[in-house]
Each structure stands twice: as C-alpha cells, then as structure tokens.
C-alpha cells in the first residue's frame, strides 16, 4: 500500500485529514476537523497556532474531488492562511496559484508543506469570532467524548 492510499473502508479525505492534523500538530497547531464556520460551511481542518493565527486546510483527494467544490475561496474570509492538502499523485497544476493558497502534500501519517500559504490577516472582530467558535466546538466535542451521557450537542 502506498503512503497516500487509504486503508480499506476509510474515506480518502478522512484518511488524508488525519495526516494533515498530525502534520499541523507537529508544527505547533491545535486542530479541529469538520469545523463549522459562521456561514454554515465546514472547514476540513482548522488549525490555531500559539499566537492565535488561523489556518484552514481543505483536503482534496483527487481531481474530481477538487472540481466538485468550486467555492473554496469562501474559506479565506475565516483564516489568516489557506492551503489545500492533496496526496502525492494529485495533479498539482490544477491548483490555484501561490498568491492564493498554500499546498500540503499528505498521506494518512503526516503532511509536508510543498508551498507555504500566503498570509492575509483577519480583522480583529472576525478573528475573535473564529477563535471563540473554534474554542467552544473543541471543548464541546471533548466533553461529549469524555462524558457521552452529558447531553452535549455536536459543534
């Protein structure tokens, strides 16, 4: 099995997201997957660094996966940096240019930065709102995991 291949039964996107989370954690980010945003979308992975910087990573397992979601630019309004994470065999030339997004190359075990995401800093009020939503989502999911009978709804 190549590093980029998901084990039998695992969705490729979920498998790659696991590696993205590991790679970001190794770089000092705290991460949440399937992170709900104020506009109703969910970011595949949202990472917060130790200074409160916000990175969103969208995972694209294949060309078809990338083509199916043309609205990825909406995520940029909720982060300081945006990147795609793709498997090694992904056709890199179809990704937007370096002024727009970074690129991570991922498998289920790790992710490496192929191209650093450019910075476009969030305004203060938006940053506070994103961080508060991230904080409450992470804590509620953790609470559910620790005490499933607590009746906490999903974030």
Which positions touch a copy of itself (CB under 8 A)?
18, 21-22, 25-26, 30-33, 48, 50, 52, 128, 131-132, 134-143, 145-147, 150-152
According to the 3-state scheme, what is the secondary structure of 15-26? HHHHHHHHHHHH
Closer by beta carbon to a copy of itself, 115 or else 131: 131
- What is the DSSP pairing of strand 42-48 with strand 30-36? antiparallel
Closer by beta carbon to a copy of itself, 105 or else 111: 111
Exposure letters 50-68 (e unless 16+ CB within 10 A, then b): eeebbbbbbbbbeeebbee
Phi, psi of 68, deg, nearest 5: -75, -15
Closer by beta carbon to a copy of itself, 64 or else 150: 150
Closer by beta carbon to a copy of itself, 116 or else 147: 147
Q: How far is the CB of 71 from a copy of itself (least distance, A)?
A: 25
Q: How far is the CB of 92 from a copy of itself (least distance, A)?
A: 26
Q: How far is the CB of 94 from a copy of itself (least distance, A)?
A: 29
Q: How far is the CB of 31 from a copy of itself (least distance, A)?
A: 6
Q: How far is the CB of 73 from a copy of itself (least distance, A)?
A: 25
Closer by beta carbon to a copy of itself, 115 or else 138: 138
**Beta-carbon contacts of residue 141 (< 8 Å; ≥ 6 apart):** 32, 154, 155
22 close to 108: Cβ distance less than 8 angstroms:
no
Tokens, residue 80: 């300081």
């Amino acid at each position: 099995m190549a590093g980029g291949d998901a084990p039998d039964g695992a969705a490729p996107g979920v498998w790659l997201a696991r590696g993205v989370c590991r790679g970001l954690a190794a770089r000092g980010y705290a991460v949440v997957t399937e992170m709900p945003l104020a506009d109703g979308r969910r970011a595949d992975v949202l990472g917060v660094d130790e200074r409160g910087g916000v990175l969103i990573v969208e995972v694209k397992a294949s060309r078809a996966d990338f083509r199916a979601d043309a609205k990825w630019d909406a995520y940029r309004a909720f982060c300081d940096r945006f990147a795609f994470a793709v498997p090694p065999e992904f056709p890199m030339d179809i990704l937007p240019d370096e002024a727009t997004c970074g690129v991570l190359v991922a498998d289920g075990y790790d992710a490496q930065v192929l191209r650093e995401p450019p910075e476009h800093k969030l305004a203060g009020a938006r940053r506070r709102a994103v961080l508060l939503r991230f904080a409450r989502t992470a804590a509620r999911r953790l609470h559910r995991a620790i005490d499933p009978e607590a009746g906490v709804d999903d974030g």
